[in-house]
Amino acid sequence: MNSETDDILFGELKMLQPDEGRGPRVSVDTVLLAYYSRVRPGGRVLEMGCAHGAISLILAKRCPGANFDAFDIDPELVSMARKNAELNGLSGRISFFVSDLREHRSNFAPQSYDVVVMNPPYDEAGTSRPSPDEVMARAMHGASCTLSEVVLCARYLLRNGGRFFLVVRANRLGELCSLLYSGNVKPKRVRAVHPKPGRRASVVIVEAVRASGDGLAVEPPLFIYGEDGEYTPSLLQAYSLAD
């Protein structure tokens, strides 16, 4: 897999990532999901479908007291994630390994994590034209897992009261909430991300809690660009490691 090294978070991290069109790359959604995720010191955190490890690396930088595991189905991406951990001095903080979330019952103990994070494929297999690149087809078009399988895996892995953070296309929010309620991992916070004021939301970031009570907070929208065409303070804050 061809790769290149890029600076992200204004140079706070250096990332090896696949060339354009050859695999998943760091995007605004990646950064916003990492920013939105709440991780506490001492907590056990798992990233599912970690690709090159960007979300786990950002979280490890932000919360040095937590314990991080991360897996992906693609061995080459896992190798890239390990190199990224070394590149950023975090190889002792995160365990990257190869696994398939559909085989979670064979590969993991139940209720073993406080936090699960995932940027799942945006589409399901058969609902959009898949990329001819196998890695991109898995990452973007659900070639290796469905949203239902993602929720089932997260439910199995989370302890009661554990938190699940994920980002999905805005038009899939209803489907996601239905799956979460069915799995007793109830949505508790939702924030819509809009390209700019006056435009529909492109994605939503969701926090759900296993075995929790009812009650959903819909947070103020986040706009990527303001009316002036510049990045908004809210977006720039997500790109900073400072509190």
Between β-strands 13-18 and 3-8, what pairing exists: parallel, antiparallel or unpaired? antiparallel
First and final C-alpha spacing in the chain:
35
pLDDT 10s digits, 209-241 = 999 999 999 999 999 999 999 999 999 999 998
**Do the domain assignments include residue 66?**
yes
Q: What whole-number distance in Å separates Cα of residue 155 and Cα of residue 159?
A: 8
Residue type, 127: T
pLDDT 10s digits, 103-121 = 999 999 999 999 999 999 9
**Do the domain assignments include residue 67?**
yes
**Do the domain assignments include residue 103?**
yes
Q: Which two tokens stand for residue 200?
A: 């529909």
Q: Residue for token digits 């365990």?
A: 95
Number of domains in the chain: 1
Phi, psi of 15 (to 5 degrees): -130, 125
Report pTM.
Answer: 0.91
Q: How far is CA 143 from the centre of its chain?
A: 17
> For residue 125, what pLDDT band results from cuts at 50, 70 and 90?
low
CATH number, position 82: 3.40.50.150
Write the CA distances from 162 to 17, 25, 141, 185, 214, integer angstroms.
Answer: 30, 28, 28, 9, 15
| Amino acid 20: pLDDT | 84
H helix or E strand, kind and range, residue 58: helix 54-62
Average pLDDT, the chain: 91
Q: Are 163 and 114 in contact (CB under 8 A)?
A: yes
Q: Are 157 and 150 in contact (CB under 8 A)?
A: no
pLDDT 10s digits, 160-177 = 999 999 999 999 999 999
Q: How far is CA 13 from the centre of its chain?
A: 17
| Amino acid 141: pLDDT | 47
Q: Are 180 and 208 in contact (CB under 8 A)?
A: yes
Query: Average pLDDT of 85-99?
Result: 95
pLDDT 10s digits, 56-71 = 999 999 999 999 999 9
**Do the domain assignments include residue 243?**
no
**Do the domain assignments include residue 86?**
yes
Domain span at residue 177 reads: 3-238
How large a percentage of the chain has pLDDT more than 70? 90
**Do the domain assignments include residue 42?**
yes
